[in-house]
Amino acid sequence: MDPLFVLLVGIVIVFVGILYFKLHAFFTLTLAAMAVAALSAPELISGYWMGEGKSAAEAASLASSPFGLRVATAFGVTCGKIGIVICMASIIGKCLLDSGAALRIVRAILKVLGEKRAPAAMGASGFFLGIPVFFDTVFYLLVPLAKALAASTKKNYGLYVLAIIAGGSIAHSQIPPTPGPLFVAEQLGIDIGMMMISGIIVGGIAAISGMVYAKWINKRKPIPFRDLEEGGDEKMQKWDDVTDKDLPNLWLSMTPIILPLILLSGKTIITGIAGSAGLTLPAAIPSIVSLLGDKNVALTLGASVGLFTLFQTKGGGQMAVKSAMQSALSSGGIVLMITCAGGAFGGMLQQSGIRGVVEQIDVAGGMWFLPMAFVLTAMIRTVQGSATVAMITSVGILGPMAAPEILGFHPIYLAMVIGFGSKPVPWMNDSGFWVISKMSGMTEGETLTNFSVMATIMAVVGLIVSMIASNVLPLN
């Protein structure tokens, strides 16, 4: 069957299943993967596997296998790539919250920057905590701090809230180990360390543009201070009753985030510097760096430090550690299932023969391709509401174009643009929209004017920066 028709069927199933029937993303993506697998022509599946280096006999055997088995295999391959990382990142995030380490980090940033730079402190806190912690959780943690600052300064409540969103939401879509960017990096064959460094740099620029808009809208349409809506976490509201003595040491608090970041990016940085300088490193150094820089090892070490931090804090101990792990794995498991189902969907799309279709399209230079990828991802995000699902679906469609010789630049720029494309346009079908609206006290109109517009601005700025960088520094 024609690959474009198969692609259309898969996309329709995803949209109709999520939007009309309100099905869970895991079930919908799995159903779409099975439909694509069942409709794909055996000769195209065989051609895909031969392109992956399989012999004609091996490719024919894989093509003739039941479509359910092919979907399950692709699901398992995705889980093998990112399963441990997502679960360990969930544990890190939960330990940061339960131990008070997250609050300790935020207080330190506020202390360094001071009250005059409180918006920057809120943005930096959101960005830093958004690396291992899901955005909704970051917002739950920091909104009470924004309210306390607004109550103290008698101004800038909306600015504080938007600063949190600017930092946290960008980290959520650009920097692994959050599921979206992690999945995109794996699908495009991008080193996790490179993805993290690029996400921090380009994402930081985009977040600054969001801060500029936040200051502009705050002067023209300031949002008055409002009490926390019913349903907020009362424990988080009492943050000012906790002294620093009750919280972990600052360096220990930061280690679960910084350690994996250093280990993951160390391999990229060391090999890059050595290569540019023409140096030959001793054999032991690359081996050690590769061992510790493995994403599974790095995140496991970070989770271990996080669990130790929780264990030795006031109110910690074995029961606190057990409870945190159970809660983290419960929430992380749902995300993992959705992500792996997305991996199966993307894998079946590639086996459908769509690669042969897109390879006939001239994307040399990529001047139009990045905006196209951005628009595609933004459309998926706007229609069905989830940034992570939008990234998973988009990279499944665009993955066959990811080779540098086809794109004309390094796939890292495509990964960045897919992440930025998942930002616009958040509205009433997005769970994050309601979390922000209800927790901050903003009306629906205020949330659209502030959050939705700011997210779109950051996305466009990120697209522009990525396009410029892909031409100035293609890296292919």
pLDDT digits (tens, 9 = 90+) for 118-162: 899 999 999 988 887 778 778 877 887 788 778 777 788 999 999
Smallest CA-to-CA distance from 163 within 243, 228, 109 is with: 109
pLDDT digits (tens, 9 = 90+) for 420-438: 999 988 887 777 888 888 8
- Triad 53, 56, 58: Cα angle to 5°: 75
CA distance 350 to 115: 52
Report residue 327 as tokens.
Answer: 């809660």
- Comparing 150 with 445, the larger pLDDT belongs to 445
Other C-beta atoms within 10 Å of 186: how many?
Answer: 21
CA distance 415 to 198: 10
* Residues 49/58, Cβ–Cβ less than 8 Å: yes
Q: Per-residue pLDDT for 109 more than 90? A: no
Q: Which of 32-46, 197-211, 435-449 has the lowest mean pLDDT?
A: 435-449
Number of separate domains in the chain:
1
- Comparing 363 with 343, the larger pLDDT belongs to 343
Other C-beta atoms within 10 Å of 20: how many?
Answer: 8
Q: How confident is the model at residue 274 (pLDDT cuts 50, 70, 90)?
A: low
Residue 165: partners with Cβ closer than 8 Å, 6 or more residues away: 126, 139, 210, 436, 451, 454, 455
pLDDT digits (tens, 9 = 90+) for 327-337: 989 888 888 89
Q: pLDDT value at position 360?
A: 63
Rounding to the nearest 10 degrees, give the CA dihedral for residues 328, 334, 335, 337: 130
Span 373-392, mean pLDDT? 86
CA distance 385 to 397: 18
- Comparing 76 with 385, the larger pLDDT belongs to 76
Residue 24 φ then ψ, to 5°: -65, 145
* Residues 185/123, Cβ–Cβ less than 8 Å: no
CA distance 237 to 151: 13
Q: Which of 20-24, 70-74, 355-359 has the lowest mean pLDDT?
A: 355-359
Smallest CA-to-CA distance from 345 within 183, 109, 119 is with: 183
Q: Per-residue pLDDT for 236 more than 50? A: no
For residue 308, give the DSSP letter.
H
* Residues 85/180, Cβ–Cβ less than 8 Å: no
Q: Per-residue pLDDT for 38 more than 60? A: yes
- Comparing 213 with 236, the larger pLDDT belongs to 213
Span 11-18, mean pLDDT? 86
Distances in Å between the Cα of 403 and the Cα atoms of 187, 213, 343 are 11, 36, 18
* Residues 309/252, Cβ–Cβ less than 8 Å: yes
Span 375-388, mean pLDDT? 84
Q: Per-residue pLDDT for 230 more than 50? A: no
Span 102-129, mean pLDDT? 87
- Comparing 380 with 148, the larger pLDDT belongs to 380
Q: How many residues does the chain have?
A: 476
- Triad 103, 119, 251: Cα angle to 5°: 35
H and E: helices and strands count for the chain: 24, 0
Q: Coil, strand, or helix at residue 247?
A: coil
Q: How confident is the model at residue 393 (pLDDT cuts 50, 70, 90)?
A: confident
Range of the domain at 18: 3-472
Q: Per-residue pLDDT for 229 more than 50? A: no
Say whether pTM exceeds 0.85. Answer: no
Span 70-91, mean pLDDT? 91
- Residue 409 region by backbone torsions, left for phi larger than 0, else alpha for psi between -120 and 50, else beta: beta
- Which residue shows structure tokens 């490719």? 59
Amino acid at 360: Q
- Residue 22 region by backbone torsions, left for phi larger than 0, else alpha for psi between -120 and 50, else beta: left
Amino acid at 199: G
Q: pLDDT value at position 332?
A: 84
Q: pLDDT value at position 436?
A: 86
Smallest CA-to-CA distance from 393 within 407, 408, 380 is with: 380
Q: Per-residue pLDDT for 115 more than 80? A: no
Q: Which of 86-90, 300-304, 399-403 has the lowest mean pLDDT?
A: 399-403
User: In whole numbers, what is the pLDDT of the chain averaged over residues?
Assistant: 85
- Which residue shows structure tokens 């069927």? 9
* Residues 89/81, Cβ–Cβ less than 8 Å: no
- Comparing 215 with 1, the larger pLDDT belongs to 215
Residue 462: partners with Cβ closer than 8 Å, 6 or more residues away: 170, 174, 202, 203, 205, 206, 416, 417, 419, 420, 423
